[in-house]
Amino acid sequence: MKKLRMDIRAESVFRPFILLLGCMLIFSIISLTLINRMNDSSDSVNTGISQDTNTLGLWEYHLIKPVAGIAITSANVTDHMIHPKDSTIIFTDDNHTPTDEKYVQIIRNNVNYDPTSTDMWKMYKDFISVQRKTVPGLITPLSYKWNGAAISFEYIENNFDTKTNMSIVGFQLSGYNDTLFIKLASNSTALLWTNTFTLYYGWSNVRADKIDLWSSITMILTCQIPGLNPQIQFAVSAFWMFGEVFIAFTMASRIIPTLGGG
The domain ranges of the chain are: 50-210, 212-262
Whether 47 has a pLDDT exceeding 80, the answer reads no
Whether 262 has a pLDDT exceeding 50, the answer reads no
pLDDT band at 178 (very low <50, low <70, confident <90, very high): confident
Question: Quick count: other Cβ atoms within 10 Å of Cβ 232?
Answer: 13
Quote the CA–CA distance of 57 and 260 in Å, as a whole number.
Answer: 52
Are the beta carbons of 254 and 247 closer than 8 angstroms? no
The dihedral sign for the CA sequence 102, 103, 107, 112 = negative
Least confident range from 61-65, 75-79, 177-181, 204-208: namely 204-208
Our CA dihedral for 56, 109, 91, 139, rounded to 10 degrees, sits at: 130
Residue scoring higher pLDDT (186 or 233): 186
Tens digit of each residue's pLDDT (9 = 90 or more) over 131-173: 988 766 555 455 567 889 999 999 999 999 998 899 998 887 7
**Is pTM beyond 0.75 here?**
no
**Over the Cα atoms of the chain, what is R_g?**
25
Tens digit of each residue's pLDDT (9 = 90 or more) over 208-231: 455 556 666 666 666 666 555 667
Q: Which of 17, 18, 29 is nearest to 236 (CA)?
A: 29
Tens digit of each residue's pLDDT (9 = 90 or more) over 7-20: 445 555 566 666 66
Tell me the H-state helices in the chain.
2-45, 153-158, 190-193, 213-221, 230-255
